[in-house]
Amino acid sequence: MTPRESAFGPVHVLLFDAHSDQEGIHSLELNGRTVVLMFEDPDDAERYAGLLEAQDFPVPTVELIDREELEQFCRDAGYEGRFVPAGFLPSSDEERLLIAPPERNMDVSSWKEQAEAGDLEPDAAGGDRSAGGDSAAASPDPELEAFRRRLEGLL
């Protein structure tokens, strides 16, 4: 086993400004928790990245990283790592966000400036934090409902 591999194996994550001092990882806010997605299938990660790009986000890159290493990063940062297995089928509104981001996103225009000012660690800058966390899971958001209907139409 190489140092970058573990019993869990590698996972795919979405990074913004990968391999720079401004690197940030894609995260979602769900019920007051910051969730980092760990994709088993690189195609699923690429598709999710494409959906973010279609929502006018900076283009994320899909990076392969050791799952154990990422889970340790999440624990240290107070985040929750969510594994998205290949062929994953959601069974709740919250799980649907694991395969497609919400239509509405938090403003990410200042995360680089915050990281430069030292307000956030570069790796924990968050890249983007898609909105829809507490309010999307707690009450039926019209945008989320419209998205859910479109997604169900695809399934």
Residue 75 pLDDT: 94
**pTM exceeds 0.85, yes or no:** no
Residue whose tokens read 């924990």: 124
Taking 3-state DSSP, the helix, strand and coil percentages for the chain, each rounded to the nearest 5, stand at 35, 25, 40
Per the model's pLDDT, the better-predicted residue between 96 and 140 turns out to be 96
Percent of the chain with pLDDT over 90: 34
Nearest to 123 by CA among 82, 72, 84: 72
Does pLDDT of 154 surpass 80?
A: no
What pLDDT was estimated at residue 92?
Answer: 85
Nearest to 131 by CA among 145, 141, 121: 141
For residue 1, count other CB atoms closer than 10 A to its CB: 7
Q: Where are the domains of the chain?
A: 10-154
Provide the pLDDT for residue 138: 40
* pLDDT, greater one: 125 or 93: 93
pLDDT at 42: 96
- What phi and psi values does residue 37 have, to the nearest 5 degrees? -85, 135
pLDDT at 78: 94
